[in-house]
Amino acid sequence: MSQPNESTKEIRIGLPTPFDGKRENLISFINECALYIDLNEAIYNTDMRKIIFMLYYMKGGTAQPWKESFMADVATTGTYGTHAGFVTKLKTAFELADSEGEARAKIRKLRQGKDTVDEYIAQFRVLAGRAKITDNKNLIEYFMEGIHQGILTKIFALETLPTKIEDWYLKASKFDAAYRRLQEINERKKGGPSTNTTKRFTPRYTPTTSSKDPDAMDVDRITTTIDRLTTEQREKHIRENRCFNCH
């Protein structure tokens, strides 16, 4: 049995997401652990170390009591067993009874929605793998049902229709990227500097009879009255100190 060198440092990248017992996350958990263990094979070089590493990331939910039960068995038998045997026990306990059928049901309902084509393809690949669908014809049929109508129309407008699912991935991704690029350009045009040169509107104030002070002197009316008086009448008003408005 080889022992890790004291100078060996663990490469702590891509740590697995803790597994809480949800069946749909089991395969991802196993794969993430396998990648991390392979990356640090100089450290996790025994079955026991690999199993303990995986146990450490089994937390909460139904995974916690399963881990405690497993540790009770270890205390009784005095051994962790093999890493391959541990993974088999995990799958037996948590894997869906009909994971293949479940995946097929999900892939039939999968739609691109607001996701990019690349995000849709990533989900499609996972479900296709779980459903164990390998035939190009069936994969293409499922794929066509989920992508946006505009992208599907673009692909059907090609001179030669792709016959392999990988080619469908490439074409759909290409058309989606071009469409989103065009959208970005249009948005930038809309959000550019304003070309509106309309002058600012300043309302002009026009006095109304309701806003006029009733006690204020009506200059216009007095001026009109004076103009209508004769010279003799004006002089009389001045001598007698009369008002030109009310006389």
Least confident of 107-111, 195-199, 217-221, 237-241: 195-199
Residue 110 has pLDDT above 50, yes or no: yes
Residue 11 has pLDDT above 50, yes or no: yes
Percent of the chain with pLDDT over 90: 57
Q: Write down the mean pLDDT value for the chain.
A: 83
Pick 239 or 81 by higher pLDDT: 81
Residue 160 has pLDDT above 60, yes or no: yes
Residue 38 has pLDDT above 90, yes or no: yes
* Burial class of residue 79 in the structure, from the number of CB atoms within 10 Å of its CB (0-12 exposed, 13-18 middle, 19+ buried): exposed
The predicted structure's pLDDT at residue 102:
83
Distance from C-alpha of 17 to C-alpha of 19, rounded to nearest angstrom: 6
The predicted structure's pLDDT at residue 228:
63
Residue 55 has pLDDT above 90, yes or no: yes
Side chain identity, residue 30: I
Per-residue 3-state assignment (H helix, E strand, C coil) for the chain: CCCCCCCCCCCCCCCCCCECCCHHHHHHHHHHHHHHHHHCCCCCCCHHHHHHHHHHCECCCCHHHHHHHHHHHHHHHCCCCCHHHHHHHHHHHHCCCCHHHHHHHHHHHCCCCCCCHHHHHHHHHHHHHHHCCCCHHHHHHHHHHHCCHHHHHHHHCCCCCCCCHHHHHHHHHHHHHHHHHHHHHHHHHHCCCCCCCCCCCCCCCCCCHHHCCCCCCCHHHHHHHHHHCCHHHHHHHHHCCCCCCCC
**Domain residue ranges of the chain, discontinuous segments joined by +:** 23-94, 99-189, 217-247
* Contact status, residue 183 vs residue 114, Cβ threshold 8 Å: no
The predicted structure's pLDDT at residue 244:
58
Residue 226 has pLDDT above 90, yes or no: no
Least confident of 66-70, 174-178, 182-186, 218-222: 218-222
The predicted structure's pLDDT at residue 30:
96
Instruction: Give the confidence band of 58 by pLDDT, cuts at 50, 70, 90.
Output: very high
What mean pLDDT is predicted for residues 213-222?
A: 50
Residue 200 has pLDDT above 70, yes or no: no
